[in-house]
C-alpha cells in the first residue's frame, strides 16, 4: 500500500504496509483463527469448527468499509469484526458459526493484533539498524585520523577526529537499539483474558487455551492477562523514542556540518533529494531534516501513551482506546528516521581538506587550553589562564605548539572503545 499523502513525510513504505487496513484486519483475523485452533486442540470446541473458522478468517473479500463504519459506533473494531466473521462462517459452515470468538473479549483481539503488527515491524527496523551500524563503522575507520574542529556551544573547541564522531553515533545507536530489542521481546505477549480477565467462560481450561494460543501465534504467554497494565508496550515505545532521538542527534550534527560556513560533510543528493523549489544552487539536508522531524514528533506521542496508562480496574474507558495512533506514530517515526539516516551514512561525502581549513582558520585559538595547561605546571592554573587569555586579546593566538594531531588526547582510544564496546 502506498504511503498516504498526509503522512508522506512521516512514514516509510514498509511500515505503511504493516499498518495498512488490510494488514491490521488480517492480524485481528489471525487472532480469531488461532484462538479457534487452540481451543480445538484443547477440546473446547470441535475441530471442524476450527477448520472452518481458519479457512474463512482472511481479509480477502472482507467488507472493510462496513467494518470501519461500525467500529466507530461500537467503540472498537473487534465487535463488528466478530459479527462480520460470524456471518461469513455461518454462510458456509453454519455449525461452526457459534464457536467464533469463543470465550474471548474485544480487547483480546485488538491487543494481540497490535502485538502481531509490532512483530512485523521488528525485522524491518533491525535490517536498517544493521546497515546503519555497518556504514558508521566504515566511516569511523576510514576517518580515524581525519582531524576536525571540536565544537562546544556551537563555537570552536580543541580538535577531535571525524572517526571519533562517527564512532559516537555508532555507539549511541547500538546502545539505544539494545533497549528496543528488549522492548520488542518483552511486549511480544498474547492477550487472552475474556470478560474480566479471568477466562471464567473457559472453566478450568483457560490457561491451557492461552498457552496453546500463544504457541499458535509464536508469542509469549504472560503470567496473566494485561488488559489495563500497559507497561510492556510503554517500555518499547520509550525505547523507540530514545532510539529515534539518537538518530536525530546524528542528523543534527550532519545538518550543521552541511552549512555553507562549515561545508565539512554532506548527505547524498540527486534524484530529487535535497533541492529547492526556488533556489537551484541549494543542497538541503533533507534526509537529516526528516529524521529530526521524526524525533520532534515522538515525545508528544509517547506522552499521550503514558497518559493513557492510567486505566481503571479491569478494563479502561478511554485510555486503551487512545493507544493505536500513538503506537503507530512512534513506530513509523522511528522507521522513517532510521531509513533516512541509513541513506545518509551510506552516501555521506566528507571533506577532510575543508575540516583542516576550518581548523586552521582559528589561528590556533583552539589550542588555548593546551597552552594554559603547559604554563600551569610552572605558574599555576589560574595565572596561566589569565596569561593565555591576555595573549589571545593582544595577538589573537595563544603561545606554544599548534599541531592538531599532537592534541587529540585519547580520541583514538575512545573511538575504538566505542566501536567495540558492549555498553
Active site residues: 276, 315
Torsion, Cα 406 411 413 416, to 10 degrees, reads -130
What are the grid coordinates assigned to 97, written together?
A: 458459526
What's the Cα-to-Cα distance from 62 to each of 22, 103, 330, rounded to whole Å?
9, 23, 28
- What are the DSSP calls for 119-140, one per residue? HHHHHHHHHHHHHHHHHHHHHH
- Residue 297 and residue 407: Cα distance in Å, rounded? 40
Q: ∠ CA(8), CA(293), CA(12), 5° rounding?
A: 35
**Packed helices 78-92 and 21-41: angle between N→C axes, nearest 10 degrees:** 60
- Residue 240 and residue 298: Cα distance in Å, rounded? 9
- Residue 364 and residue 402: Cα distance in Å, rounded? 6
* Beta-carbon-side half-sphere exposure of residue 383 (alpha carbons within 13 Å): 6
Closest Cα partner for 157 from 408, 373, 417, 386?
408
- Catalogue the E-assigned strands of 162-256: none
- Contact (Cβ atoms closer than 8 angstroms) between residue 291 and residue 337: yes
- Residue 102 and residue 111: Cα distance in Å, rounded? 17
Q: Report CA torsion sign: 38, 41, 45, 46.
A: positive
| DSSP H or E run through 350 | strand 349-350
Amino acid at each position: 500500500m502506498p504511503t498516504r499523502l498526509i503522512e508522506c513525510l512521516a512514514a516509510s513504505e514498509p511500515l505503511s504496509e504493516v499498518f495498512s487496513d488490510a494488514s491490521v484486519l488480517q492480524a485481528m483475523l489471525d487472532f480469531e483463527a488461532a484462538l479457534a485452533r487452540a481451543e480445538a486442540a484443547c477440546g473446547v470446541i470441535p475441530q471442524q469448527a476450527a477448520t472452518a473458522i481458519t479457512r474463512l478468517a482472511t481479509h480477502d473479500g472482507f467488507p472493510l468499509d462496513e467494518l470501519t463504519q461500525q467500529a466507530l459506533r461500537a467503540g472498537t473494531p473487534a465487535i463488528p469484526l466478530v459479527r462480520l466473521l460470524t456471518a461469513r462462517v455461518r454462510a458456509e459452515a453454519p455449525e461452526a458459526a457459534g464457536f467464533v470468538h469463543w470465550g474471548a473479549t474485544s480487547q483480546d483481539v485488538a491487543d494481540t493484533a497490535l502485538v502481531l503488527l509490532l512483530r512485523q515491524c521488528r525485522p524491518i527496523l533491525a535490517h536498517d539498524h544493521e546497515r546503519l551500524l555497518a556504514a558508521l563503522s566504515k566511516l569511523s575507520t576510514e576517518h580515524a585520523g581525519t582531524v576536525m574542529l571540536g565544537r562546544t556551544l556551537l563555537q570552536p573547541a580543541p580538535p577531535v577526529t571525524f572517526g571519533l564522531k562517527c564512532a559516537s553515533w555508532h555507539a549511541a545507536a547500538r546502545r539505544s537499539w539494545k533497549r528496543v530489542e528488549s522492548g520488542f521481546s518483552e511486549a511480544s505477549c498474547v492477550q487472552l483474558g475474556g470478560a474480566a480477565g479471568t477466562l471464567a467462560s473457559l472453566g478450568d481450561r483457560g490457561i491451557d487455551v492461552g498457552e496453546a494460543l500463544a504457541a499458535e501465534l509464536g508469542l509469549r504467554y504472560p503470567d496473566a492477562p494485561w488488559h489495563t497494565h500497559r507497561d510492556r508496550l510503554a517500555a518499547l515505545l520509550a525505547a523507540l523514542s530514545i532510539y529515534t532521538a539518537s538518530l536525530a542527534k546524528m542528523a543534527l550534527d550532519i545538518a550543521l556540518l552541511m552549512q555553507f560556513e562549515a561545508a565539512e560533510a554532506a548527505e547524498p543528493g540527486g534524484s530529487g533529494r535535497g533541492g529547492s523549489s526556488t533556489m537551484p544552487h541549494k543542497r538541503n539536508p533533507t534526509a537529516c531534516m526528516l529524521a529530526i522531524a521524526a524525533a520532534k514528533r515522538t515525545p508528544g506521542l509517547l506522552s499521550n501513551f503514558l497518559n493513557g496508562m492510567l486505566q481503571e480496574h479491569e478494563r479502561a474507558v478511554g485510555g486503551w482506546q487512545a493507544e493505536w495512533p500513538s503506537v503507530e506514530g512512534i513506530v513509523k517515526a522511528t522507521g522513517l528516521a532510521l531509513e533516512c539516516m541509513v541513506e545518509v551514512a551510506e552516501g555521506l561525502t566528507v571533506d577532510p581538506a575543508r575540516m583542516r581549513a576550518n581548523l586552521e582558520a582559528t589561528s590556533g585559538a583552539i589550542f588555548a587550553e593546551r597552552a594554559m595547561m603547559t604554563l600551569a605546571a610552572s605558574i599555576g592554573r589560574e595565572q596561566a589562564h589569565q596569561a593565555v587569555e591576555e595573549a589571545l586579546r593582544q595577538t589573537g593566538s595563544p603561545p606554544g605548539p599548534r599541531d592538531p594531531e599532537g592534541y587529540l588526547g585519547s580520541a583514538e582510544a575512545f573511538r575504538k572503545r566505542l566501536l567495540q564496546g558492549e555498553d
